[in-house]
Amino acid sequence: MTDAARIEAFLARLWSERGVSVHTVAAYRRDLMMLSGWLARCGLDLASAGPAELQDYLADRLRQHASTRSIARQISAWRQFYGDASRHGQCGDPTTDLQSPRLPRRLPQVLSEADVDALLRAPALDTAIGLRDRAMLELLYATGVRVSELVGLVLGQIDLRVGWIRIQGKGRKERLVPMGEEALHWVARYLTEARPAFLPVRGGDALFPGRRGRPLTRQACWHRLRALGQVAGIRKRFSPHDLRHAFATHLLDHGADLRMVQLLLGHSDLSTTQIYTHVAQARLKALHAAHHPRG
């Protein structure tokens, strides 16, 4: 069995059993093929590699100035691959004693409430695209959904009567998230006044279709958001995911319970959500330094 065949078989199982995203599959494929290519130059393959070879590969990557984050991601891919191969009796697991580099805690960038308000008001409401953009922005900020979850929404996942949306998140886990009155208003207006302009004669069920009636892509959503950020006068670069960060941080700023935020974000582990408490603390410290006479 070739390395390429081993990798594709592993990725197929990973996708079908754990429901990982296509982006995760692509990243794992890239990392495993890089290791396979390096081993081939040493006369080895993935099945015959041992701990020493993996350490040598990592040392080679570090000499090429690979970042610790890149190294950690590759080790994670190897652990998944070799764990799966070991369970299926294909080879042993040489990653058992492999240590991942310690990553520095990186606080996410958070837009201020004033920035978000300016961004929400940026779309031109006299056009179908503007109404669609306003509805998308309101929904992103009101629910904290990932951009991949947003562009994947279909009409059957949204209930305007009760004001909830049903999200299928990572690992195909579903969660119900309330929309809030503002987002509900703008989505309802968009559906009535703007969405039909994007649909071909046969129609479609994508909540946010693009110009040709197909679901809007992640890249198109990023492009629209950056253009609207310029209109809103936001000078720092940001992405749709920063609205997810803003959603979580602003909820905590206003007294929300951490576990409630965890459920709304769809985090399986509370420790993932706790990063936002550090963001809130950092913001409080900055405010104290700026405004207290002895700050």
**Are residues 284 and 169 both part of a single domain?**
yes
**Are residues 60 and 139 both part of a single domain?**
no
Does residue 157 register a pLDDT over 50?
Answer: yes
Q: How many Å apart are CA 169 and CA 18, to the nearest integer?
A: 12
Which of 87, 105, 139 marks a domain boundary?
A: 87
What is the structure's pLDDT at 280? Answer: 53
How high does pLDDT run on average in the chain?
83
Which of 87, 122, 148 marks a domain boundary?
A: 87
Q: How many Å apart are CA 199 and CA 202, to the nearest integer?
A: 8
- Kindly tell me the sign of the dihedral angle through the C-alpha atoms of 154, 155, 156, 160: positive
**Are residues 137 and 277 both part of a single domain?**
yes
Q: Tokens 């410290």 belong to which residue? A: 285
pLDDT tens digit sequence for 164-222:
999 887 767 788 888 889 999 999 999 999 998 888 656 678 899 887 777 888 888 88
**Are residues 142 and 266 both part of a single domain?**
yes
Range with lowest mean pLDDT among 92-96, 106-110, 122-126, 257-261? 106-110
Q: Is residue 230 part of a domain?
A: yes
**Are residues 79 and 135 both part of a single domain?**
no
Q: Give the three-class secondary structure for 206.
A: strand
Q: Is residue 108 part of a domain?
A: no
Mean pLDDT within 75-81? 91
What is the structure's pLDDT at 123? Answer: 95
What is the structure's pLDDT at 126? Answer: 92
Q: Is residue 98 part of a domain?
A: no
- Closest CA relative to residue 165, chosen from 287, 252, 173, 175: 175
What is the structure's pLDDT at 146? Answer: 87
Instruction: Tell me the H-state helices in 108-180.
Output: 113-120, 128-143, 147-151
What is the structure's pLDDT at 139? Answer: 94
Does residue 288 register a pLDDT over 50?
Answer: no
Please, which pLDDT band fits residue 135 given cuts at 50, 70 and 90?
Answer: very high
SS3 content of the chain, % helix, strand, coil (to 5): 60, 5, 35
What is the structure's pLDDT at 18? Answer: 77
pLDDT tens digit sequence for 209-256:
887 777 888 888 888 888 999 999 988 777 788 888 888 888 877 877
Q: Is residue 102 part of a domain?
A: no
What is the structure's pLDDT at 286? Answer: 58
Q: Is 44 exposed, middle or buried (0-12, 13-18, 19+ CB in 10 A)?
A: middle
Please, which pLDDT band fits residue 9 given cuts at 50, 70 and 90?
Answer: very high
**Which residues form the domain of 19?**
3-87
For residues 110 and 174, the model is more confident at 174
Q: Is residue 94 part of a domain?
A: no
- Identify the CATH number of the domain in which residue 197 sits: 1.10.443.10
Give the total number of structural domains in the chain: 2
Q: Is residue 59 part of a domain?
A: yes
Q: Is residue 107 part of a domain?
A: no
**Are residues 229 and 129 both part of a single domain?**
yes
Q: Tokens 């803003």 belong to which residue? A: 246
Residues with a known catalytic role:
146, 170, 241, 244, 267, 276
Q: Is residue 273 part of a domain?
A: yes
Range with lowest mean pLDDT among 16-20, 127-131, 134-138, 270-274? 270-274
Q: How many Å apart are CA 47 and CA 131, to the nearest integer?
A: 54
**Are residues 50 and 126 both part of a single domain?**
no
**Are residues 195 and 270 both part of a single domain?**
yes
pLDDT tens digit sequence for 10-51:
999 888 877 777 888 899 999 999 999 999 999 999 999 999
Mean pLDDT within 53-80? 88
Whole-number Cα distances in Å, 116 to 11, 236, 237: 39, 13, 13
